[in-house]
Amino acid sequence: MAVKKQVKAKTAKAGTGKTEGRKYGYFDDANREYVLCNSATPIKWCNYVGTLNFGGIVDTTGGTVLCKGDPALNRITKYISQMPNSDFKGSTIYIRIKDEKGFYKLLSPFVVPTCTIWDNWECRIGLSYTKWIAEGYGLRVKVTVFVPTNSSTLIQDISVENISGKSMEVDVIPVYEFSHFDALKQLTNADWVPQTMTVEAHRERSGHVIQEQYAFMKKKYAVNYFTASMPAQSFECDRKAFLGFNEITGWISPYTLYKGDLTNSTALRGDNIASQMFKFKLANKKSARVATQLGQEKNIAAAMPAIKKYRDLKNVDKAFADLAAFWDNYLAALQVKTPDASFNSMVNIHNPRQCHTTKNWSRYLSLYQLGFGSDRGIGYRDSSQDLLGVMSHMPEEARLLVENLLSVQKEEGNAMHQYFPSTMEANEGDSREEEDRPKYYGDDHLWIVLTVASYLKETGNMKFLDKQIPFYHKKKELKAREKGSVLEHLKRSLAFTWKDRGKHGIPHLGFADWNDTVNLPTGSESLFNASLFAKALLEMIDICEAIGDKKLVQQYKNWYAEIGNRVNKTAWDGKWYIRWFDEKGKALGSNKNKVNKIDSLGQSWPVISGIAPPERAKTALNSVNKLLNTKNGIKLSWPGYNGFDPHVGGVSTYPPGAKENGGIFLHANPWIMIAETIVGNGNRAFQYYNQINPAAKNENIDEFESEPYCYPQNILGNEHKQFGLGRNAWLSGTSSWTYQAATQYILGVKATFKGLSINPCVPKAWKEFYIARKFRGALYEIIVKNPKGVSKGVKSVKVDGRELVGNVVPVLAGKRHVVEVVMG
């Protein structure tokens, strides 16, 4: 990627000790990959394959977390993420050769678990696939791992080429370890779990082996299977047999593999694995290829069509090409060319890709949110926001998730905090666990108003507002639950917050607002909830105008005016807005406080919601720049709590500078970028964009540590000694909001009920840029010129050569339209 000083990294030797001073990897934009050349990443780096329907995580050392539909309730592989990166984690491949003396030597293309040092090694992290290429010991080994679109099969496409100059015998031995489907039970119960688990193998007449794994109670309706494109010489189902010698030599050097072939074991209980051995005799320059399949179906008969299909390597190639075509099509929804190559690469590839990932996994399964038990699930506020990042790319898939979210909104109008996709059961998140705090969140139900508005503006499908969806009721069966139209759901969201206001006329905090970790006693008020409510009202006013309901428009305008007045009367602190009133009415996020004097959301959201008058907006944003900004991003608040304070709760469990306690919580950064574009400060918005661009941190991985190809959730702030250290990659609202900031506010192209609105706010130095945006069935190619070097302001717009009045390009018939914009 196009980070300015980028030098293509030399291929670093895998393993440890030989990489000092070298980079970890580089961006290969032409192939839409990040190429890791050094397996010894500072922390685990990973990629996602497949979707929540079937898929999971593949890390750069070959470890795999796989599930179908639900990581907590239908997990397939066993991956314990807290183990060192050197350990086996759910899957690996052994390559076995003989050394000069005729002794076996074991290699792994993933380096782990055999600790193989290759001459050349790279791991290409691509769009829903990871590919390894390892050279050494006379071999070139290639492995590609992916899930074909709309399938329930994980494919490992393995090839070995003899480059030794003489003929060689090579054995290829892939292995997966299974988890109990109830992922948490696998970790907490070592009695019941192993008694229920079985793997048996069937050898077909053709010699192919199918290994079938199931938990006893699922035997009749969900079995996992492992098979390959070619007959196996031998196989193993029991981990004890695979590792041999009562497992004492471990995964690094399985005794059985040094002794001979696999023993064709069955696993009647206990530690379930699937492994097969494929033997090749390769003349010099010859190669062999085998593709394995790990899948789940009702039974083996139901799996046979897929098994047969992917045994044919031509179909494996086609599935891989189809996956690339899926991404071509997906990314084509919005492509840009700006003077900044690093911005282009992020906006064209990595950021929309991450939005697709957060849309799928919410905060359910990552190397940080581990998807065990009822800890996470699909988060109401999280997914509502994630959907804003995919709306221009997959609005109808987004709508389906919106429907699920609305179905866990309660009759009263507020929402359950999270739900589990395979059962649609919902719960109140952490608020369940604190006795003396409210049992609901003050913000969940408001986000969905933004999401529905975004869907309607993108598609124009106003009929969706009439769709009947049930409200959630814990004690009522689905059939007995009250139903309401989507519009009714939204009305109840707003009515809930309007009623649920405190002493200052500001909405109550609930257990928490967006900031999960500030859990003040019942009766506290949240200025953020006030702004989010105001923004939701603006969206609802747009919707009601579009459907011609004047009465509702007026009602919501009144509410909007009232909430704005209350905020401006009660919450202006002199140079910024305060953030909360506690149960006694005391301000928090105020200059009067000793800690937590200023909070970033307190400033961004009054601007985003239009509540802040222009002068206050600028003053507040200048305070953010002065007190919260750092070279690694904007801190959420300052100063941090230095010790546990039961009054505020969670935030004070972190040391100052970490996470919500004065850390750089990235999710809140794009909100400041957006606010800066609203006040017309394009240079600053772009500076803030660059500060958190993970790709720009590729030069500085030893400090940042996290994956450079996706946003992490947090970076330690400058109150912490490890300032700059990133954590919690992939599943963060940062992805959706940074994408919105870049495309809808910096580039300024936004769907509205009337068409595509164009209102960029860019760095003054940008003289020209280009956006291709698909919208309601047509492609709009937008060329923006900025001859006077302004940040904001549209002087003229021509559509297909014709002058337009205003800056909203109407929905046009025809497949392609050219839009010429002049700023000034």
Contact flag: residue 713 with ligand GLC (CB under 6 A): yes
Residue number of the CB atom closest to ligand GLC: 516
**E strand intervals along 298-361:** 334-337
Contact 105, 121 (CB under 8 A): no
Q: Are strands 64-67 and 91-98 parallel, antiparallel or unpaired?
A: unpaired
Contact flag: residue 589 with ligand GLC (CB under 6 A): no
Residue 113: cis peptide before it, omega within 30 degrees of 0: yes
Rounded Cα distance, 377 and 121, in Å: 36
Q: Which stretch binds ligand GLC (CB under 6 A): 183-191, 229-237, 376-384, 816-824?
A: 376-384
Contact 785, 762 (CB under 8 A): no
Contact flag: residue 431 with ligand GLC (CB under 6 A): no
Contact 295, 152 (CB under 8 A): yes
For ligand GLC, the closer CB: 661 or 759: 661
Mask of contacts with ligand GLC, 25-54, x by CB under 6 A?
Answer: ------------------------------
Residues 724-743 that bind ligand GLC (CB under 6 A): 732
* From 85, 515, 590, 738, residue interacting with ligand GLC (rule: CB under 6 A): 515
Contact flag: residue 514 with ligand GLC (CB under 6 A): yes
Contact flag: residue 539 with ligand GLC (CB under 6 A): no
Contact flag: residue 604 with ligand GLC (CB under 6 A): no
Rounded Cα distance, 70 and 56, in Å: 10
Closest CB 369 distance from ligand GLC, rounded Å: 8
Closest CB 379 distance from ligand GLC, rounded Å: 5
Instruction: Work out whether the CA dihedral 686, 340, 349, 35 comes out positive or negative.
Output: negative
Q: Which stretch binds ligand GLC (CB under 6 A): 82-90, 195-203, 512-520, 780-788?
A: 512-520
Nearest alpha carbon to residue 58 among 89, 95, 93, 16: 89
List CB contacts of 260: < 8 A, sequence separation 6 or more.
none
Contact flag: residue 517 with ligand GLC (CB under 6 A): yes
* DSSP 8-state secondary structure symbol assigned to residue 655: P
List CB contacts of 593: < 8 A, sequence separation 6 or more.
587
Closest CB 584 distance from ligand GLC, rounded Å: 24
Contact flag: residue 382 with ligand GLC (CB under 6 A): yes
Closest CB 658 distance from ligand GLC, rounded Å: 12
For ligand GLC, the closer CB: 265 or 369: 369
For ligand GLC, the closer CB: 379 or 682: 379
Helix (H) or strand (E) holding 272: strand 272-282
Q: Are strands 153-162 and 139-146 parallel, antiparallel or unpaired?
A: antiparallel
For ligand GLC, the closer CB: 60 or 713: 713
Query: What burial letters (b/e) apply to 780-814, b meaning 16+ CB within 10 Å?
Result: bebbbbbeeebbbebeebebeeeebeebbbeebee
Q: Which stretch binds ligand GLC (CB under 6 A): 280-288, 387-395, 515-523, 527-535?
A: 515-523
Q: Which stretch binds ligand GLC (CB under 6 A): 51-59, 189-197, 198-206, 514-522?
A: 514-522
Closest CB 518 distance from ligand GLC, rounded Å: 8
Instruction: Give the 3-state secondary structure percentages of the chain, helix then strand then coil, rounded to 5.
Output: 30, 30, 40
516 annotated active-site: yes
Closest CB 669 distance from ligand GLC, rounded Å: 13
**E strand intervals along 222-271:** 223-228, 234-238
Mask of contacts with ligand GLC, 240-269, x by CB under 6 A?
Answer: ------------------------------
Residue 470: cis peptide before it, omega within 30 degrees of 0: no
Query: Residues touching ligand GLC: how many (CB under 6 A)?
Result: 11
Tell me which amino acid residue 803 is: E
Closest CB 660 distance from ligand GLC, rounded Å: 5
SS3 727: strand
Contact flag: residue 363 with ligand GLC (CB under 6 A): yes
Rounded Cα distance, 209 and 427, in Å: 43
Contact flag: residue 377 with ligand GLC (CB under 6 A): no
Helix (H) or strand (E) holding 307: helix 300-311
Q: Which stretch binds ligand GLC (CB under 6 A): 140-148, 172-180, 314-322, 513-521?
A: 513-521
Candidates 59, 382, 516, 599; catalytic one = 516
Closest CB 376 distance from ligand GLC, rounded Å: 8
For ligand GLC, the closer CB: 278 or 671: 671
CA 440, 445, 446 angle in degrees (round to 5)?
125
Tokens 């299977």 locate to: 225
Mask of contacts with ligand GLC, 648-687, x by CB under 6 A?
Answer: ------------x---------------------------
85: tokens are 């990166």
Closest CB 363 distance from ligand GLC, rounded Å: 5
Helix spans in 332-443 (H): 341-345, 351-361, 380-388, 395-406
Contact flag: residue 379 with ligand GLC (CB under 6 A): yes
Q: Which residues bind ligand GLC (CB under 6 A)?
A: 363, 379, 381-382, 514-517, 660, 713, 732
Q: Which residues are annotated as catalytic?
A: 516
